Amino acid sequence: MIKKFLIKAKALRPKLNTTTHFAECSVAPMGAGDSAVIDFGTHLVGKVKIKFSYDGSPPDAPAFIRLKFCEHISEIDEDTSDYRGWISKSWIQEEYVHVDDIPSELKLNRRYAVRYIKIDVISISSKYRLKIDGASVDASTSAEKTVEPCGENARAAKIDEVALRTLKNCMQCEFEDGPKRDRRLWMGDLRLQALANYKTYKNYDLVKRCLYLFAGVSDKNGNIPACVFTRPRVIPDDTTMFDYSLLFIPTLLDYFTETGDKATAIELLPTALRQIEIAKESFDGDVLRDSDKLGWCFIDWSLELNKQCSAQGVYIFCEKCAAKLCELLGKDASALYDDAKKKTDAAISAFFDDKLGLFASGKDRQLSYASNIWMCIAGVFGKEKCRDILLRLEKTDAIRPVTPYLYHHYIQALIDAGESVRAKEIMYGYWGGMVDAGADTFWELYDPENPDASPYGSRTVNSYCHAWSCTPSYFIRKYFSGDKND
Ligand code: RAM
């Protein structure tokens, strides 16, 4: 841990803005076995209060109720009792509560990500019925401004509105990945949130704080962890990921390009460059080790994915960003450019299949969007060839992206290759699919072909407001505003 960085991060801790939202509560008085659903009309993140009263005789026994907090309508009737996923059940937003004094206002301590609250009366005296007189959420965010949705038509503006809300609700004391789960700062998510934030809420200090948090928790070897816990105190997670450590570099470069904050860029440059040095240890010559010997590298939540090729793409992209950052700061970048060139040549000879005209990964020569997207983002070929690769992919049964995270990179790769029109179609189709399925905020995972998909063995713990899915707001403002096609 590097104390001076953590002190800077602490000084940048934002004050949250809070607004109170009330729900319409026209619920009939409830007896044992009855249920009701309260709807706040939109997705909110904050503290919940519920006012109870009664009908009938004076309450001669407590009301024992279950409260279930749902981000998306599909969660309301999900049976949580048979949850068998591999991450903790404690992420499910539900509480069993005794309401002793009626009438009273129940103030829940925990922060929830919520649009709907389902209330089940488990047990109550037969002499009275429970009434709900009101419910509110004190919703918090560190986004300070109001940003109006935009887009070339109503569909685009709706997608932007949902993306803006996603980002806003993930902006708390850090850029959280998801306010339902995991409620913490992850590198891959941060990079995309920061990009969307620059085009919308422009909270530069929040990005700066997060950069210092990551740099501040780097280990003795200088390695940045994949995520940081900030409560009850700042500590690194004991997980590092090949790609997430490297992604500190473009995040710092983007921050510097956006703000011109040279002091921060200079101070954090050694941390950034260290990630390249550490990543180099995973190469045999100029080709990265195969997926099974690489340790955890995220890329996407597709569990069958071989990551050797895409990870090498991430490396090349990040090394070029490091070179650019050095150049901008007046430092010698030639060794970084030379190495990136070597890794590029090696990637082409190790992974490019001339017959298919596509990159293939691992000893089984697996075809995936991930490999080809990252090689294009890394710029291993020129624009025309990348365009050919990305369009050719569509005619194959290559493993498709399953998260908005990899979709973001897909859209970016298409734009970089001059295929803005196709990028736009894919973006509106994919994120629009979530809107059609009732999204107030965009999700952690969306596989149009498999609505029940979850990387955790159960969609009950999926997050429906997830940072890495907020980038339509970035693309719309940077590339798709008005009806410009390029
Ligand atoms: C998920 C987190 C986060 C992501 C990691 C890799 O569990 O929610 O968004 O960055 O995976």
Ligand 1 pocket, 177 CB below 6 A?
A: yes
- Global pTM value: 0.97
Task: Give the mean model confidence (pLDDT) for residues 101-126.
Answer: 98
Predicted pLDDT of residue 117:
98
Is the predicted pLDDT of residue 242 greater than 60, yes or no?
yes
Predicted pLDDT of residue 485:
38
Ligand 1 pocket, 430 CB below 6 A?
A: no
Ligand 1 pocket, 188 CB below 6 A?
A: yes
How many other C-beta atoms lie within 10 A of the C-beta of residue 270?
Answer: 10
SS3 (DSSP) at 368: strand
Task: Give the mean model confidence (pLDDT) for residues 206-231.
Answer: 98
Distance 467 CA to ligand 1 centre (A): 9
The owner of tokens 């009850």 is 232
Predicted pLDDT of residue 249:
99
Predicted pLDDT of residue 102:
98
Closest ligand 1 atom number to CA of residue 182:
8
Walk across the sheet containing 227-229 and list its strands.
185-186, 227-229, 235-236
Q: Which of 120-124, 301-305, 320-324, 337-341 has the lowest mean pLDDT?
A: 301-305
Rounded to whole angstroms, the Cα distance separating 163 from 113 reads: 16
Cα distances (Å, whole numbers) of residue 274 to 218, 220, 235, 271, 278: 10, 11, 20, 5, 6
Closest ligand 1 atom number to CA of residue 455:
7
Share of the chain above pLDDT 90, in %: 97
DSSP string, 378-404: TTSS-HHHHHHHHHHHTTS-PBPP-SH
What domains can be seen in the chain, in order of their start residue? Answer: 17-141 (2.60.120.260), 154-480 (1.50.10.10)
Task: Give the mean model confidence (pLDDT) for residues 156-165.
Answer: 98
- Of all protein residues, the one whose alpha carbon is nearest to atom 3 of ligand 1 is 177
- Of all protein residues, the one whose alpha carbon is nearest to atom 6 of ligand 1 is 298
Q: Which one-letter amino acid corresponds to residue 86?
A: W
Extract the runs of DSSP E, i.e. beta strands, from 142-229.
185-186, 227-229
Ligand 1 pocket, 182 CB below 6 A?
A: yes
Predicted pLDDT of residue 337:
98
Task: Give the mean model confidence (pLDDT) for residues 3-13.
Answer: 98
Ligand 1 pocket, 374 CB below 6 A?
A: no
Is the predicted pLDDT of residue 411 greater than 80, yes or no?
yes
Residue 48, phi then psi, degrees to nearest 5: -110, 140
Task: Give the mean model confidence (pLDDT) for residues 20-40.
Answer: 95
Q: Which of 175, 184, 186 to mutate to test the pocket of ligand 1 (most atoms within 8 A of CB)?
A: 186
Mean pLDDT of the chain: 97
Task: Give the mean model confidence (pLDDT) for residues 440-459.
Answer: 94
Query: How open is the CA angle 116-119-120, to the nearest 5 degrees?
Result: 145
The owner of tokens 């602490």 is 10
Ligand 1 pocket, 189 CB below 6 A?
A: yes
Distance 444 CA to ligand 1 centre (A): 8
Share of the chain above pLDDT 70, in %: 99
Rounded to whole angstroms, the Cα distance separating 396 from 401 reads: 13
Predicted pLDDT of residue 393:
98
Cα distances (Å, whole numbers) of residue 358 to 77, 268, 364, 370: 44, 37, 14, 11
**Predicted confidence band at 483 (pLDDT cuts at 50, 70, 90)?**
very low
- pLDDT (tens digit, 9 = 90+) per residue, 284-324? 999 999 999 999 999 999 999 999 999 999 999 999 999 99
Predicted pLDDT of residue 321:
99
Closest ligand 1 atom number to CA of residue 178:
8
Ligand 1 pocket, 179 CB below 6 A?
A: no
Task: Give the mean model confidence (pLDDT) for residues 245-262.
Answer: 98
Task: Give the mean model confidence (pLDDT) for residues 32-60.
Answer: 98
Where on the phi/psi map is residue 187: left (φ > 0), alpha (ψ -120 to 50), or beta?
alpha
Predicted pLDDT of residue 115:
98
Task: Give the mean model confidence (pLDDT) for residues 360-369.
Answer: 98
Ligand 1 pocket, 401 CB below 6 A?
A: no
Is the predicted pLDDT of residue 31 greater than 50, yes or no?
yes
Is the predicted pLDDT of residue 486 greater than 60, yes or no?
no
- Of all protein residues, the one whose alpha carbon is nearest to atom 9 of ligand 1 is 177
Extract the runs of DSSP E, i.e. beta strands, from 124-255.
128-141, 185-186, 227-229, 235-236
How many other C-beta atoms lie within 10 A of the C-beta of residue 205?
Answer: 15
Task: Give the mean model confidence (pLDDT) for residues 458-471.
Answer: 97
